A and B are shown apart, each in its own frame.
Chain A
Amino acid sequence: MTEKPKLAVWKFASCDGCQLSLLDCEDELLAVTDHITIANFPEASRAVLNGPYDVSLVEGSITTPHDRDRIQEVRCQSKYLVTIGACATAGGIQALRNFTDVQEFMDIVYAKPEFISTLDTSTPISAHVNVDFELRGCPINKNQLLEVINAFLNQRKPNVSLNSVCIECKKRGTACIMVAQGTPCMGPVTQAGCGAICPAYDRGCYGCYGPMETPNTSSLAIWMRELGVTKVELQRMFRTYNAEDPDFRREGDRHGGESL
């Protein structure tokens, strides 16, 4: 009998939501464990098997000196390293510190900042080690997660669309809320994967999957301005869960103003 492939799940600065997606696969979880060994997944099991691991799923961004070292060890133990979610792929919401002085944040939250060890920045995993695949989303889509695990275990490329959310609205049959209702929407520049949920719930996409491949953000910004979005608001729209992603960062930097 051949040994089952070993899966590990690692956490860095994050909310736990993306790894929870694996436990949220209620219909598939037990079937998945028939084919793989969950070798290191502290949120789900106190049993830890030693590496190396066939696939490592990495959640969270790098924000502390300790984590900056730890990700190197994770890479060394992993045949394939897949980042899951906006934190691991783009620095996450906590990357908003990259636009300010982290000391100021520390003083706001902690009475004794000298007790806290943190870096000035929140950076994606790819800024530190080679990453084999980045799965986007805040949070990730669990069906995409199953596809990615399946693909890596079968030595093939994951089938994950690089299109925009607009394509998913069309598939879902949602009328364009930007055109029909004049609601500002990040969908045209945001990578698909969520299933175009926001427009189906009568709100504009807020870009939690990060930029699609070659997004035309400057054109979208012009359309947004015509809909009455202020420059400050526009900057906030690009600076949310994927603020550190180069495409969103560049566009966000073009807007704003002294009031931020």
Chain B
Amino acid sequence: MSDKHGGGTRTIKVDYLARVEGEGAMYLKIRDNVLEDVKLKIFEPPRFFEGLLRGRDFREAPDITSRICGICPVAYQMSAVHAMENACGVRVEGALRELRRLFYCGEWISSHTLHVYMLHAPDFLGYPSAVEMAKDHPEAVKRGLALKKTGNDIMNLMGGREIHPVNARVGGFYRAPARSELSGLREKLLHARDLALETVKWTATLDFPEFEQNYTFVALRHGDEYPMNEGRIVSNMGLDIDMSDYDNHFEEQHVDYSNALHCVMKPGNKSYHVGPMARYALNFDRLLSDIQDVARSAGLGPVCTNPFKSIIVRAVEVLYAVTEALRVIDNYSPPDTSFITVEPKAGTGYAATEAPRGLLYHRYTIDDDGIIKDANIVPPTSQNQKMIEDDLRRFVPTCMDKSDDEIQYVSEQAIRNYDPCISCATHFLKLEIDRR
């Protein structure tokens, strides 16, 4: 919505930011072409997961927390199972560990492809939605849908269904697939690899605003693989900590205009960037050389600092996830048992895994009977919220010569660079520009 007032004073107000997951609003205050204030407001109703988890059995955490987000349920399940295993002093290795990676690849493919084709690409090509975009770009949208479906096929097989899968458990899986079931995915994944390669090339042809930023990137880093479930929490500014040290370095703050908590890095309460660009920058050397070559030919260096180009980075990660899924399938030999028995032990467990949108931290304290006494969950969008505001604070001033409608359009695009999941962060987006 745009109202023009006389005398050079304008107020631009948008009530609902679309193509994000959840309900939020954006407020921009502009006086005499100077951006004075930026607020990402989240009015997604609070659902109090950390409260309702208290008194539940530790084995229920993966299923209950998956209900925080229908777009990335696997991420919640993975962070929950790893945190509970950490609390109980258990490590899940071998084929079960590989199957968890395969399961996560499914979600990365599906969630990233949803964002690339259905939520983000319409911004670059000037359409309100992928359905409208499909009228002029049918091949692209069909490619996206086919690729997304392959991700869902993995989640269906590994988890029984793509949204809130039922198969993950503390200690492993309820049922491990037979070799023949996994090899059934092989043909689809080989085709998906071609589609993913085309996706990288296609995203590289989009027009990007010049907007290089000096980010503090935070992601997991693992000894020899591109990170998903394990590793240390590192940054490009020298941070290198164990997951159990997270609370000492990061803090959630409650601001009056949002139902989501803002997470900042201590000391100094600084914003930081999690998600595909952070993972990529901190783990480029963990990608296979042919995927590095594909990224280079798409115009990416080993670090990408233009958030609008996150769409290319997501496409590269889809290619990685398809390739990794094929690796797991080709090397698979079924585990002896689908899970290892985990006996509850009083204590606190920590885990952070790489959700499609970035680092997802879970901490649980349980008692000797396995009853949850305390839970803390920090989703990626809480961590990126302040970063999104900072991006707008720097980006909007570069657009002051544009009309209100254009500022609104590109601001929405800048928010979508982060694939914000507001259901997660409160566990919606309305754009309001107050310009005089």
Contact = CB atoms under 8 A, between A and B. Distances in A.
Contacts of A19: 70
Contacts, number: 193
A16 B55 contact: no
Interface string A150-163: 00000000000000
B208 interface: no
A67 B22 CA distance: 14
B56 A45 contact: no
Interface stretch (A91-99, A127-135, A184-192, A213-221): A91-99
A11 B68 contact: no
Interface string B147-175: 01100100000001111101101000111
Interface residues of A, number: 67
Interface in A61-77: 63-64, 66-67
B60 to A, nearest CB: 7
A194 B99 CA distance: 23
B48 A115 contact: no
B283 to A, nearest CB: 28
A116 interface: yes
Chain B interface size, under 10 / 10 to 19 / 20 to 34 / 35 or more: 35 or more
Contacts of B160: 197-198, 200-201
A45 B16 CA distance: 11
A202 B177 CA distance: 11
Nearest to B377: A109
A108 B60 contact: no
A24 interface: yes
Interface stretch (A27-35, A50-58, A247-255): A27-35
Nearest to A46: B18
Given A13-B47, A27-B149, A202 B21 contact: no
B418 to A, nearest CB: 16
Given A26-B145, A42-B19, A194-B161, A18 B50 contact: no
Contacts of B54: 108
B5 interface: no
B48 A201 contact: no
A99 B162 CA distance: 30
A87 to B, nearest CB: 9
Contact of B67 (A12, A109, A116, A241): A241
B374 to A, nearest CB: 8
B317 interface: no
Given A44-B130, A97-B51, A201-B160, A30 B141 contact: yes
Interface in B27-76: 43-52, 54-57, 60, 63-64, 67-71, 73
Nearest to A85: B70
Nearest to B431: A46
Nearest to A197: B160
Contacts of B163: 17-18, 20-21, 24, 139
B256 interface: yes
B377 to A, nearest CB: 9
Contact of A38 (B52, B131, B164, B252): B131
Contact of B19 (A26, A46, A100, A233): A46
Contacts of A147: none
Interface of B: 16-23, 43-52, 54-57, 60, 63-64, 67-71, 73, 114, 118-119, 128-132, 134, 141-142, 145-146, 148-149, 152, 160-164, 166-167, 169, 173-175, 252-256, 259, 261, 338, 412, 421, 423, 427-428
Interface of A: 11-21, 23-24, 26-27, 29-30, 33, 38, 41-48, 60, 63-64, 66-67, 92-94, 96-97, 100, 102, 104-106, 108-112, 115-116, 118, 122, 138-139, 194, 197-198, 200-203, 206, 208, 233, 236, 240-241, 260
12 contacts: A12-B45, A13-B47, A15-B67, A29-B145, A30-B145, A38-B131, A48-B18, A63-B46, A64-B45, A110-B46, A110-B254, A116-B46
Given A109-B427, A203-B167, 7 more contacts: A11-B23, A26-B149, A44-B131, A94-B52, A109-B51, A112-B254, A197-B160
